[in-house]
Structure 1
């Protein structure tokens, strides 16, 4: 039982050391991820469309 109490105490101490992101940081990270994913998706769509166009004209 003593080990469990010590574990809970240590967990609380470690949790107090954690620095959680602010709302602004979370918002900025979300926007950055959304922009990068959108750009990559558009690039892949462009490459796919170009390859499909070229292959359809070859065949």
Structure 2
């Protein structure tokens, strides 16, 4: 009986879950790509700045 009760409670909880729509997934994906691109660009610029600065100091 415990297994049956567990299965029924799990089914009831799963019915309460609200899954995202395709549009919400698409918007979230685009947002993540944009944020990752911006952070990557920023880190590349910081790396370039430090590389040129340290290269001029060492040389």
Q: TM-score range by the shorter chain?
A: over 0.9
Give the equivalent residue in structure 2 for 1:27. Answer: 26
Give the equivalent residue in structure 2 for 1:18. Answer: 17
TM-score by length of 2: 0.97
Runs of 4+ with >3 A deviation: none
Q: Kindly report the root-mean-square deviation, in angstroms, between the aligned alpha carbons of the 2 structures.
A: 0.3
Q: For residues 23 and 47 of structure 2, what CA distance do their matches in structure 1 show?
A: 36
1:53 Cα deviation from its structure 2 partner = 0.3
Give the equivalent residue in structure 1 for 2:44. Answer: 45
Q: For residues 34 and 4 of structure 2, what CA distance do their matches in structure 1 show?
A: 46
Q: For residues 58 and 37 of structure 1, what CA distance do their matches in structure 2 show?
A: 31
1:22 Cα deviation from its structure 2 partner = 0.0
User: What do the CA deviations read for 1:14-41 (whole angstroms, capped 9, x no partner)?
Assistant: 0000000000000000000110000000
